[in-house]
């Protein structure tokens, strides 16, 4: 940066390795412009870094990413770079969840093969998606191990159930 006294002086030694000769300790430049090409403004860096500190949801504000990166790394990130990273992380998370739902039948079959007394039920619906034609969508899954079935025999005839309401991209009741 123009006006900054921070410098690094290096040269190659006889083994063709680079040796640092002089390194000044501090930058004197203040309020420098954030350029979109700096490492912490690249999509690949943000894409790897943000999920380490934040759980990305559709309701997340760009400000949360900016504050998290500033707090954890001490650098200011370009707002547009953070917006693009948030958009791609949400899209990737949604695709990952959709792929995981496709594995439910195989998971239930594996559970049944390991424990033949387990009770499982998978309820799906057929959804008409213009882009992909007809596809099966998971509506609910029920798993009751044999141990739970046996304990229910000893219980009184009263049962109360409650749900946990998920508010992510897939609004569901657990």
What ranges in the chain are assigned the alpha helix state H? 43-53, 62-73, 79-101, 104-114, 146-154
Average pLDDT value over all residues in the chain: 76
95 vs 82, residue with greater confidence:
82
In DSSP terms, 19 is beta-bridged to 11
Domain ranges across the chain? 1-32, 34-98, 116-173
Q: What is the pLDDT of residue 31?
A: 47
Q: Once rounded to an integer, what is the mean pLDDT over residues 145-163?
A: 79
Fill in the DSSP letter of residue 16.
S
Let me know: does 78 contact 70? Beta carbons within 8 Å. no
Question: Rounded to two decimals, what is the model's pTM?
Answer: 0.41
Cβ(90)–Cβ(110) below 8 Å:
no
| Dihedral sign (CA 48, 54, 58, 63) | negative
Of the two residues 134 and 72, the one the predictor is more confident about is: 72
Closest CA to 77 of 89, 65, 59: 65
């Amino acid at each position: 940066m123009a006006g900054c006294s921070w410098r690094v002086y290096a040269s190659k030694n006889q083994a063709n390795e680079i040796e640092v000769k002089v390194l000044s300790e501090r930058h004197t430049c203040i309020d420098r412009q954030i350029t979109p090409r700096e490492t912490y403004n690249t999509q690949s860096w943000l894409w790897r870094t943000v999920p380490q500190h934040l759980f990305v949801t559709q309701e997340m504000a760009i400000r949360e990413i900016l504050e998290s990166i500033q707090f954890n790394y001490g650098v200011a990130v370009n707002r547009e770079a953070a917006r693009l990273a948030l958009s791609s992380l949400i899209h990737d998370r949604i695709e990952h969840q959709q792929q995981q739902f496709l594995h439910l039948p195989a998971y239930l079959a594996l559970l049944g093969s390991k424990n033949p007394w387990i009770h499982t039920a998978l309820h799906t619906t057929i959804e008409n998606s213009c882009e992909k034609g007809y596809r099966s969508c998971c509506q609910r899954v029920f798993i009751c191990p044999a141990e739970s079935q046996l304990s229910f025999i000893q219980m009184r005839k009263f049962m109360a159930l409650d749900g946990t309401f998920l508010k992510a991209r897939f609004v569901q009741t657990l």
